[in-house]
Structure formats: structure tokens, C-alpha cells
Structure 1
């Protein structure tokens, strides 16, 4: 590597790190602004900078919890957003969101697309079509 290539790589890494810190800072500032605001102001705050699991927890918190979060300070809010032990009394922890099993994912995982199609057709054919409708008496 030449010295120019090394400097370019260093500068690219530095800019990437700065962007990461900026996005993290925006999330913390957004959470603190949301927690400190009143109900009318909260409705207008864009929470897209906050992780989805932290956003879900934030939206389910009551006014007392939000007040405690707003007064906690940036380092503790950062820990709260990451889902780590934050040390803020009375604040629910951010739990990682669980994946929801859909009907399509309940199929056996080792089926080829053709086998899945046959499986789907057999399930449809196996339904009873001779059932009677409920009628009012």
C-alpha cells in the first residue's frame, strides 16, 4: 500500500465512524426530546432514528416513566436504547423484538419449491367440500 492509499482508507474509516456516532447521537437526542415533551409534542416527533425495539418500548411508556427517562442523561439513555443495564429506576428495559412465525414459515424447511406447491395443493384438495352452511331457522 502506498501512503496515499493508507491515508484514503484512514479517512474513509474516520468518516464512517463519525457517521455512526452521529446516527447514535440523533437517536439519543430524539429519545430525550420525546421523553421530555408533552403528549401533543410527542405526536409530532419523528422516531425513525430510534431502533425499532426501543421505539416500541418508548411508545408504551407512561408519563412518569418518560419523565424519569428524560432526566436520566445521555449515557444512561444510550444504555437503555442498546437494551443494556441502564440503572434508571422505574423504566422498563428494552427487549429485543421477537420474530413472529408466519403460516408460510410453519412448513417443513427442507422442501423444494415444487414440493411446497404439491404440499399446498394437497392441503387444498384435502379440505372437505361437502360441509353444510349454517342457516337461520
Structure 2
């Protein structure tokens, strides 16, 4: 085995590894590719369709410093950014998902009497406990 054979085998292995299609089920590779792309290439860089629309809008409207911070962040923090949970990437705003309930909906509606407000709180507590109960199948 000569030196040229070793180099040729190495280059062949490198080419075959680069040719492997990466599975991008949750969109992390596409987001990292988008964030690392040059400013002029970003409009043509595709984002996965399975990303939340709020994340897509945020990525398209972020400045270069925030996108660079995402591109250099660890994968776990990027995954948290995509999921809309606190991610601790400095300079990158947190994304609020559309399915997150705003705090204003948890307050009683204005103009209620004291009696109606108490009934509203009781009803809210009952619905809250029912929403968190696990599903139980009835035994035949």
C-alpha cells in the first residue's frame, strides 16, 4: 500500500460521506444552513415547511448578529429555539408559539359581579383539572 493509495482512499471516503443525504426531520440542519448562509443568499435558502410559521417569520426578520448566534449555538439550544422554549442563545429573541395560551385569557372577563367572578374561578379550576387527567380506557 503506497502513500497515494491511502490518500485516494481517504478522498474517496470523504466524497462518499459528503454525498450522504442528511435526514432533517425536525429542521435543525436547514435552520443552521439558513443561519450560516450569506445575507444575499438567504432569500433563496429554503426553510422546511414543517417549521412553525412564527419561527419562519422570526428567522426571515432577524439581523445578521442573531442569525450568526444561532449558527454557532449548540444543537440542543437550536432545538429549543425551534420548539419555542427558553433557549439561552444570547442576542436571539424567544419565539412564542401560536398554540401557547396568552395570560390575558386566564383572567376573568371585565364587568362581572363578585358572585359571577367566584363562579367563573370555580369553573376554570374544574376545567383545568379535567384537562390534565390522563385518558383511561373503560374495562369491558
Which TM-score applies when normalising by structure 1?
Answer: 0.51
Confirm or deny: 8 A CA contact 2:81 2:95 kept in the other structure.
yes
- In 2, the alpha carbon distance for the partners of 1:50 and 1:73 equals 19
- In 1, the alpha carbon distance for the partners of 2:51 and 2:39 equals 18
- In 1, the alpha carbon distance for the partners of 2:79 and 2:56 equals 13
- In 1, the alpha carbon distance for the partners of 2:84 and 2:50 equals 16
Deviation at 1:96, TM superposition (A): 1.8
* Uncovered stretches (5+) of structure 1, i.e. residues with no partner: 1-20, 99-137
Moved over 6 A (4+): none
- Which stretch of structure 1 is more off in the superposition, 67-76 or 48-57? 48-57
Which SS does the other structure have where 1:23 is aligned?
coil
1:31 counterpart residue number: 31
Greater RCO, 1 or 2 (C-alpha within 8 Å, sep 6+): 1
Matches within 5 A, 1:1-137: 22-24=24-26, 27-47=27-47, 48-97=49-98
Deviation at 1:60, TM superposition (A): 1.2
- In 1, the alpha carbon distance for the partners of 2:24 and 2:68 equals 24
Q: CA RMSD in A?
A: 1.7
* Uncovered stretches (5+) of structure 2, i.e. residues with no partner: 1-22, 100-140
Which TM-score applies when normalising by structure 2?
Answer: 0.50
The 1:65/1:71 distance shift into structure 2, 3 A limit, reads: same
- In 1, the alpha carbon distance for the partners of 2:62 and 2:88 equals 17
Deviation at 1:22, TM superposition (A): 4.6
- In 1, the alpha carbon distance for the partners of 2:43 and 2:89 equals 24
The 1:49/1:42 distance shift into structure 2, 3 A limit, reads: farther
